[in-house]
């Protein structure tokens, strides 16, 4: 075929002549591929199969990446998607009244009275501190309330996630029941602190003492960052990295001895 031609022309096919039989035939390629044909395709495969075949020095289970991730330097960090999911819970929960796990109206009234009495106790307990350092007291109390809300909505998110993944045909495991109890207790504490804050915020001498979404988000990120680092430390498999490091150290020692 002529170079650049779109139509096959039999006249373009080179032929060979069999001198004995006087026959001609097409010049067909041999069935064997010469060794020099095996040339790495550095353009189509710049990384190279050898490099891809190497296993990572640091191995983590798949479920680590469901909740956390690694930054560009390989350090554990929080997953922004989970932060967004937790903050949706905050938007749903913040500002809602305290609810009690009972359908009996009399019991509900007693629980509400006890909740109000607790809030009053916290309020009165802060009064002596306001006489000494009102600004510092306000900042510390606001930080406590913000961290508690961050912990509460994070546990709600994790509880809902675990319940969605649980097998409905089996009983709820004990650890998940404990998580549910912690979720209710944190919800109570969060609303208790918010109730006190509404009563006392004007006595701190601060410009803005309120629960802000961006402050809660920062605490959520810090919490997930701590969890990412803790899980990384306890889950990471560095055996390949350690073996390679020992090999490199041994090779370095041999190089030094050769020079000496």
With a cut of 60, say whether residue 3 has pLDDT above it.
Answer: no
pTM (two decimals): 0.68
User: Sign of the CA dihedral 102, 106, 112, 117?
Assistant: negative
Residue 139, pLDDT > 50, answer: yes
* pLDDT grade for 124, boundaries at 50, 70 and 90: very high
CB 78 within 8 A of CB 84: no
* pLDDT value of residue 108: 83
C-alpha angle 185/145/132, rounded to 5°?
125
- For residue 245, name the pLDDT band (cuts at 50, 70, 90): very low
pLDDT at 147 over 80: yes
What are the Cα distances from residue 177, in Å, to 160, 173, 180, 253?
Answer: 12, 7, 5, 56
pLDDT digits (tens, 9 = 90+) for 83-119: 999 999 999 999 998 888 777 888 888 999 999 999 9
pLDDT score at 45 = 53
pLDDT at 24: 52
pLDDT band at 240 (very low <50, low <70, confident <90, very high): very low
Instruction: Give me the pLDDT at residue 46, please.
Output: 52
SS3 86: helix
Give the DSSP per-residue string, 110-170: HHHHHHHHHHHHHHHHHHHHHTT-HHHHHHHHHHHHHHHHHHHHHHHHHHHHHHHHS-TTS
Q: How confident is the model at residue 253 (pLDDT cuts 50, 70, 90)?
A: very low
For the residues 125-139, what does the mean pLDDT come to? 91
Greater confidence (23 vs 152) lies with: 152
Cα–Cα distance, 21 to 27 (Å, whole number): 16
- How remote is the C-alpha of 249 from its chain's centroid? 34
17, pLDDT greater than 50: no
Residue 222 confidence (pLDDT):
96
pLDDT confidence of residue 243: 44
Which candidate, 240, 217, 229, 241, places its Cα nearest to that of 70? 229
60 band by pLDDT with thresholds 50, 70 and 90: confident
pLDDT band at 120 (very low <50, low <70, confident <90, very high): very high
**Tens of pLDDT along 28-57?**
556 666 665 555 555 555 555 555 444 455
Residues 181-235 pLDDT 10s: 999 999 999 999 999 998 888 888 888 888 999 999 999 999 999 999 999 998 8
| 141 pLDDT more than 70 | yes
């Amino acid at each position: 075929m002529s170079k650049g031609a779109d139509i096959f022309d039999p006249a373009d096919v080179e032929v060979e002549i069999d001198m004995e039989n006087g026959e001609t035939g097409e010049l067909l390629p041999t069935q064997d591929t010469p060794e020099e044909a095996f040339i790495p395709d550095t353009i189509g495969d710049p990384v190279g199969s050898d490099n891809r075949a190497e296993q990572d020095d640091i191995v983590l289970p798949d479920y680590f990446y469901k909740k956390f991730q690694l930054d560009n330097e390989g350090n554990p960090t929080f997953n922004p998607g989970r932060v967004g999911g937790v903050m949706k819970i905050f938007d749903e929960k913040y500002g809602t009244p305290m609810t009690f796990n009972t359908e009996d109206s009399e019991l509900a009234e007693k629980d509400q009275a006890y909740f109000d009495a607790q809030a009053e106790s916290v309020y009165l307990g802060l009064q002596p501190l306001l006489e000494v350092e009102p600004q510092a007291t306000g900042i510390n109390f606001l930080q406590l309330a913000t961290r508690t809300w961050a912990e509460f909505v994070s546990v709600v998110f994790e509880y809902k996630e675990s319940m969605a993944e649980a097998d409905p045909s089996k009983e709820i495991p004990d650890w998940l029941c404990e998580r549910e109890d912690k979720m209710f207790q944190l919800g109570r504490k969060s609303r208790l602190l918010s109730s006190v804050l509404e009563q006392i915020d004007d006595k701190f001498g601060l410009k803005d003492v309120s629960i802000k979404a961006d402050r809660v988000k920062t605490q959520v990120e810090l919490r997930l960052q701590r969890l990412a680092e803790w899980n990384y430390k306890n889950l990471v498999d560095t055996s390949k990295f350690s073996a390679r490091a020992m090999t490199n150290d041994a090779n370095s020692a041999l190089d030094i001895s050769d020079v000496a």
